[in-house]
């Protein structure tokens, strides 16, 4: 049987994680996987999450099946969190999914059923899992221009020109906020232009929202998605609770469909539930129940928001501190863009030779495209990282 197979490629992010773990140098700086870390380098459980779990343990009476769509209260709360009041709910359907990845997979499989010959467009560059996932779903995958590593900014004119050439057989995967891996994001005005282009061409939006609340705030980060919702009558969105609730391993996400009318929403939803039933029958409940409890309870919701806000502002402070430290040492504004980026990542635009040297000489680990994770840097590590980057790029 298995002699017909050859070895599959590893996910480069998880491969780097193993490489870092094998490095015995005590001073190593891990800028690899996208997990939020505090000053001490830990990824603690949020206090609102702990309290919700305590409530589950104290009050849950059954572990019977929840159903194919998962936790309904969770799905409703997630729709509200992502879409706000941007679209009438009778056109919206949602199902709980195992993580943002699971939500993306369900939606890609659904879209393949709806439009088998579509081309799926991802940004250049994008999260390394997007292309393999879209290919696994059977799509032709193409890339639209997105990032200019020389300036650290979005190549917006090129992006818009590519979008303007698309049509109804094109599906465009857009990062809702906090672009992974670049950290460079569309302004509100640019979102409006993207939405106007897609409305005009009939290209179909697939929004990946994995970091809501990590950029400029919960509502601010949903600007693009809500602009899509206000102007375009059908689209889908995959959301994740891994980062903003810090419940990575619980695998919590949501697949959201917005259709032209309630009848089409019902049909699309029946196909989505059919996709889920044929894959894993129904999602695990615990993590979704945590999120439902938090979002439906005023006090816990306020506590969660405050914790999320503290994480968000700390990442922005780290960005400013790193940009300042590099500017002071290099007398140049070459890396000032780090302070303008949002979310957990910035793509520094370093070449592979520099990245390899930083690894061997400074024990500084970043992805081989020069993506760094800005969370988990604390003051002393920021100064050392600035020394290393300026030393290696001189």
Please give the residue ranges that form the binding site for ligand PLP (CB under 6 A). 34, 99-101, 127, 175, 180, 208, 210, 240, 242, 248, 253
Report in angstroms how near the CB of residue 264 gets to ligand TYF at its nearest. Answer: 32
Nearer to ligand TYF, 33 or 97 (CB): 33
Question: 13 touches which of ligand TYF, ligand PLP, none (CB within 5 to 8 A by kind)?
Answer: ligand TYF
SS (H, E, C) the chain: CHHHCCCCCCCHHHHHHHHHHCCCCCCCEECCCCCCCCCCCCCCCCHHHHHHHHHHHHHCCCCCCCCCCCCHHHHHHHHHHHHCCCCCHHHEEEEEECHHHHHHHHHHHHHHHHCCCCEEEEEECCCCCHHHHHHHCCCEEEEEECEECCCCEECHHHHHHHHHCCCCCEEEEEECCCCCCCCCCCCHHHHHHHHHHHHHHCCEEEEEECCCCCCCCHHHHCHHHHHHHHHCCCEEEEEECCCCCCCHHHCCEEEEEECCCHHHHHHHHHHHHHHHHHHCCCCCCHHHHHHHHHHHCHHHHHHHHHHHHHHHHHHHHHHHHHHHHHHHHHCCCCCCHHHHCCCCEEECCCCHHHHHHHHHHHCEECCCCCEEECCCCCHHHHHHHHHHHHHHHC
Which member of 208, 221, 285, 334 is catalytic? 208
Report in angstroms how near the CB of residue 127 gets to ligand PLP at its nearest. Answer: 4
Q: Please list every residue from 167 through 206 that binds ligand TYF, using CB under 6 A.
A: 180
Report in angstroms how near the CB of residue 127 gets to ligand TYF at its nearest. Answer: 6
Q: Among this protein's residues, is 279 annotated catalytic?
A: no
Q: Does 13 bind ligand TYF (CB under 6 A)?
A: yes
Q: Does 129 bind ligand TYF (CB under 6 A)?
A: yes
Question: 393 touches which of ligand PLP, ligand TYF, none (CB within 5 to 8 A by kind)?
Answer: none
Question: 99 touches which of ligand PLP, ligand TYF, none (CB within 5 to 8 A by kind)?
Answer: ligand PLP
Q: Please list every residue from 19 through 78 that binds ligand TYF, using CB under 6 A.
A: 33-34
Question: 33 touches which of ligand PLP, ligand TYF, none (CB within 5 to 8 A by kind)?
Answer: ligand TYF
Nearer to ligand PLP, 101 or 269 (CB): 101
Q: Are 68 and 199 in contact (CB under 8 A)?
A: no
Question: 11 touches which of ligand TYF, ligand PLP, none (CB within 5 to 8 A by kind)?
Answer: ligand TYF
Q: Among this protein's residues, is 208 annotated catalytic?
A: yes
Nearer to ligand PLP, 127 or 304 (CB): 127
Which member of 75, 243, 265, 285 is catalytic? 243
Nearer to ligand TYF, 204 or 245 (CB): 245
Q: Among this protein's residues, is 339 annotated catalytic?
A: no
Q: Are 177 and 343 in contact (CB under 8 A)?
A: yes
Which member of 127, 304, 339, 359 is catalytic? 127
Q: Are 194 and 146 in contact (CB under 8 A)?
A: no
Q: Among this protein's residues, is 105 annotated catalytic?
A: no
Q: Does 127 bind ligand TYF (CB under 6 A)?
A: yes
Nearer to ligand TYF, 46 or 268 (CB): 46
The residues annotated as belonging to the active site are 127, 208, 210, 243
Q: Where does this chain bind ligand TYF (CB under 6 A)?
A: 11, 13, 33-34, 127, 129, 180
């Amino acid at each position: 049987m298995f002699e017909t197979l050859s070895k599959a490629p590893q996910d480069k992010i998880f491969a780097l994680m193993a490489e870092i773990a094998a490095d015995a140098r005590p001073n190593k700086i891990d800028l690899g996987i996208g997990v939020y870390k505090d000053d001490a380098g830990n990824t603690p459980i949020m206090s609102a999450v702990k309290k919700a779990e305590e409530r589950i343990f104290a009050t849950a009476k059954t572990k019977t099946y929840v159903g194919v769509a998962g936790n309904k209260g969770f799905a409703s709360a997630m729709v509200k969190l992502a879409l706000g009041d941007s679209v009438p709910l009778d056109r919206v359907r949602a199902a709980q999914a195992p993580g943002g990845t699971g939500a993306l997979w369900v939606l890609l499989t659904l879209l393949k059923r709806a439009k088998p010959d579509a081309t799926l467009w991802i940004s250049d560059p994008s999260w390394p899992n997007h292309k393999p996932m879209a290919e696994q779903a059977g799509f032709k995958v193409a890339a639209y221009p997105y990032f200019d590593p020389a300036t650290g900014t979005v190549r917006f004119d090129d992006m818009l020109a590519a979008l303007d050439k698309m049509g109804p057989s094109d599906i465009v995967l857009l990062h809702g906020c906090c672009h992974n891996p670049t950290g460079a994001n569309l302004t509100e005005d640019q979102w409006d232009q993207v939405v106007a282009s897609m409305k005009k061409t009939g290209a179909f939006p697939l929004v990946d929202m994995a970091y809501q609340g990590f950029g400029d705030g919960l509502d601010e980060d949903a600007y693009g998605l809500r602009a899509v919702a206000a102007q375009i009558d059908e689209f889908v969105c995959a959301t994740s609770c891994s980062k903003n609730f810090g419940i990575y391993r619980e695998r919590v996400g949501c697949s959201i469909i917005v259709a032209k009318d309630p009848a089409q929403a019902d049909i699309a939803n029946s196909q989505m539930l059919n996709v889920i039933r044929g894959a894993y029958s129904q999602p695990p409940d615990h993590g979704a129940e945590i999120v439902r409890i938090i979002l439906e309870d005023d006090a816990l919701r306020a506590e969660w928001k405050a914790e999320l806000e503290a994480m968000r502002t700390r990442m922005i402070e780290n960005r400013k501190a790193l940009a300042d430290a590099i500017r002071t040492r290099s007398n140049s504004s070459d890396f000032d863009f780090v302070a303008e980026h949002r979310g957990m990542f910035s793509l520094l635009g370093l070449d592979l030779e520099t990245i390899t040297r930083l690894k061997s000489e400074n024990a500084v680990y970043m992805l081989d495209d020069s993506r760094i994770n800005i969370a988990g840097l604390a003051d002393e590590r920021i100064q050392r990282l600035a020394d290393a980057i300026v030393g290696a790029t001189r």
